[in-house]
Amino acid sequence: MDTDLQPADNVTAIAERLALAILEHRLAPGTKMSEDDVGEIFGVSRTIVRAAFQRLSHDRLIDLRRNRGAFVAQPTVREALEVFEARALLEPRMARSAAERATRADIAFLRDHIGQEHAAIHARDFGRALYLSGQFHVELVRIADQDTIASFIRQLVSRSSLVIALYWQRRHALCESDAHHTLIDAMARGDGALAEKVMTAHLADLLASLDLRRRTSGTMSLKDALS
Amino acid sequence: MDTDLQPADNVTAIAERLALAILEHRLAPGTKMSEDDVGEIFGVSRTIVRAAFQRLSHDRLIDLRRNRGAFVAQPTVREALEVFEARALLEPRMARSAAERATRADIAFLRDHIGQEHAAIHARDFGRALYLSGQFHVELVRIADQDTIASFIRQLVSRSSLVIALYWQRRHALCESDAHHTLIDAMARGDGALAEKVMTAHLADLLASLDLRRRTSGTMSLKDALS
DNA sequence: CCCACGTGTTTCGTATACAATTTCGCCCAA
DNA sequence: TTGGGCGAAATTGTATACGAAACACGTGGG
């Protein structure tokens, strides 16, 4: 049985836990992560932590500065715009493909996914809700069955999460927009053209809801964030 | 001035030299690279080599198999198709942007780049010619001034090089197609729409010139390839 | 003749030690 | 008070050591 997706690989496991902490906004952009501290928290040596850092750095989730250490990335305004431009180029087409390929099981899975997201909101776990909201896009590309583009989207969605952490003022109004529902409906009907259009609009909305002039701040200790 | 792009960073330097060896087809897909051997060739410890390997692995240039080692990646037919599908989605738009933004200096740079490529062909250094031919696409996106998408293209072009190594039969007829010249001409006239169209056709041609049924093979020793 | 098995060798995974660099507090002078 | 420099402490960069897993190969049984 390999239903247990726990990676037997230490560095993967730790990279994923760190990524989740960032994506759920438990670790604020700019936070410094010392190799020793992280290693001690997870009970591994710096060797492992460094490898995990390098992976996250390649996904632009953290910024690795030579002889200085690892910091949760702080996308600039320019990077934020680039990320959304890239998403606008890729995701609508993926939404179309997904709509054309989605099975009944896929649709059910996505509906369940949104269910979890709502549950998280209800439990006031906004970090997790935000993470799931991003994962929705990743799942969509998975259905489109394009692994290569999926890896790009995964990175872009992750970076979007950082952008949101930095430039989103009104937190609690999160993705209430039922864009995801609309998307699923279009997919359930196999309407690729509509799905593509809805996705385009959804991404534009997301970008428009940011205030790129102001940056929110806030920090938290490592141990608390990685519990 | 930062015209000196020599990385003071050992792992970056080694990752780049390995990447170049792969991109110039001096290292054939499937070749195993032992950490010890590579470390000895470059005069660094396995620590550095491992870090470099992890980077290349993230770009899918090498395949890292746990407890087995690092192998030059061998993209499957499916991956090959995905790579070109992704390029088809991104590059035409980038060609348009580049055409609309290119300065006189940019055009001159690209022309010179093609000049180097022809020189390499003339010197029968087909590996280098192929590398430069790929770099042309990367430079194009650089002109389009989209760093995020540029990083994706860089990866896709690299993987394309592996695809070509595996699935290209008639080697010596390389990119003689003057698609790159046509592209530059369109850019010089600032004709974005044309550049977009030419790029689309160029990528389709490239894909069509592959024979995805047959795989070429061939290998070479590490020390020779990394001299 | 072929396949299963055990042993020695190679290669990788991880921890740790030490060197190099940065950071921070402290003192002193302007 | 403020700014600069000096040294100690902390943190990262790299090499190395040792345990563990995979591989190579020779041996013996079927």
| Percent of the residues in chain A that have a pLDDT greater than 90, as a whole number | 82
* Helix (H), strand (E) at residue A65: strand A62-65
Distance from CA of A94 to the nearest CA of B (A): 10
Name the nucleotide nearest B67; use CA and C1'.
C12
| B176: containing domain | 77-208
For residue B156, the chain A residues in CB contact (below 8 A) are 148
Q: Does B156 touch chain A (CB under 8 A)?
A: yes
What average pLDDT does the structure give for chain A?
91
pLDDT at B215: 76
Alpha carbon A16 to chain centroid, angstroms: 12
For residue B58, the chain A residues in CB contact (below 8 A) are 55, 58
For residue A174, the 8-state DSSP code is T
Residues B144 and B63 in one domain: no
Number of structural domains found in chain B: 2
CA dihedral A117, A118, A124, A127 (to 10 degrees): 20
Sheet holding A32-33, edge to edge: A32-33, A69-72, A62-65
Residue finishing a domain among B74, B101, B118: B74
Residues B70 and B83 in one domain: no
Least confident segment among B61-70, B119-128, B206-215: B206-215
pLDDT at residue B173 greater than cutoff 70: no
Residue finishing a domain among B74, B97, B120: B74
- pLDDT tens profile A132-153: 999 999 999 999 999 999 999 9
Question: Model confidence at B168, in pLDDT bands (50, 70, 90)?
Answer: confident
Residues B36 and B106 in one domain: no
Sheet holding B62-65, edge to edge: B32-33, B69-72, B62-65
Residues B136 and B194 in one domain: yes
CATH number of the structural domain spanning residue A81 = 1.20.120.530
Residues B130 and B199 in one domain: yes
Distance from CA of A223 to the nearest CA of B (A): 27
B33 phi, psi to nearest 5 deg:
-115, 110
Nucleotides of C under 7 A from a protein CB: 11-17, 21-23
Say if the Cβ atoms of B147 and A83 lie within 8 Å. Answer: no
pLDDT at A20: 97
pLDDT at residue A163 greater than cutoff 50: yes
Q: Does B55 touch chain A (CB under 8 A)?
A: yes
Residues A20 and A113 in one domain: no
Residue A214 lies in a domain: no
- pLDDT tens profile B108-147: 999 999 999 999 999 999 899 999 999 999 999 999 999 9
Residue A127 lies in a domain: yes
Residue B213 lies in a domain: no
- pLDDT tens profile A93-125: 999 999 999 999 999 999 999 999 999 999 999
A214 is written with which tokens? 């102001």
Residue A227 lies in a domain: no
Residues B68 and B81 in one domain: no
Chain A, chain B: beta-carbon pairs less than 8 Å apart: 54
Residue A140 lies in a domain: yes
Residue A226 lies in a domain: no
Determine the distance between A178 (CA) and C1 (C1') in angstroms: 70
Residue finishing a domain among A21, A43, A74: A74
CA separation for the pair B17, A5 (Å, rounded): 35
Asked whether the beta carbons of B52 and B59 are under 8 A apart, the reply is no
Long-range contacts of A53-57 (CB under 8 A, 24+ apart): A54/B51, A54/B54, A54/B55, A55/A11, A55/A15, A55/B54, A55/B58, A56/A15, A56/A18, A56/A19, A56/A22
Suggest the residue from B76, B148, B155, B196 to mutate for an interface test with chain A (most A CBs closer than 10 A).
B148
CA neighbor of A59 nearest in space, from B58, B203, B179: B58
CB contact set of A85 (below 8 Å; sequence gap of 6+): B146, B148, B149
Per-residue pLDDT, averaged over B184-194, amounts to: 97
Q: Does A55 touch chain B (CB under 8 A)?
A: yes
Residue A224 lies in a domain: no
Residues A187 and A118 in one domain: yes
Residues A55 and A88 in one domain: no
Nucleotides of D under 7 A from a protein CB: 11-17, 21-23
For residue A82, the chain B residues in CB contact (below 8 A) are 146-149
Selecting from B50, B58, B149 the residue whose C-beta is nearest the C-beta of A55 gives B58
Which residue on chain B is closest to A156 by alpha carbon?
B148
CATH number of the structural domain spanning residue B32 = 1.10.10.10
Residue B135 lies in a domain: yes
Residues A46 and A158 in one domain: no
- pLDDT tens profile B144-164: 999 999 999 999 999 999 999
- pLDDT tens profile A73-95: 999 999 999 999 999 999 999 99
Residues B163 and B203 in one domain: yes
Residues A92 and A69 in one domain: no
Per-residue pLDDT, averaged over A24-37, amounts to: 95
pLDDT at A97: 98
Q: Which residues touch strand D (CB under 7 A)?
A: A 32-36, 46-47, 50, 66-70; B 9-11, 44-48, 67-68
Question: Model confidence at A211, in pLDDT bands (50, 70, 90)?
Answer: confident
Per-residue pLDDT, averaged over A34-44, amounts to: 96
E strand map for B172-218: none
For residue A86, the chain B residues in CB contact (below 8 A) are 146, 148-149, 152
Beta strand B62-65 pairing with A62-65: unpaired
pLDDT at A169: 78
Determine the distance between A21 (CA) and D1 (C1') in angstroms: 44
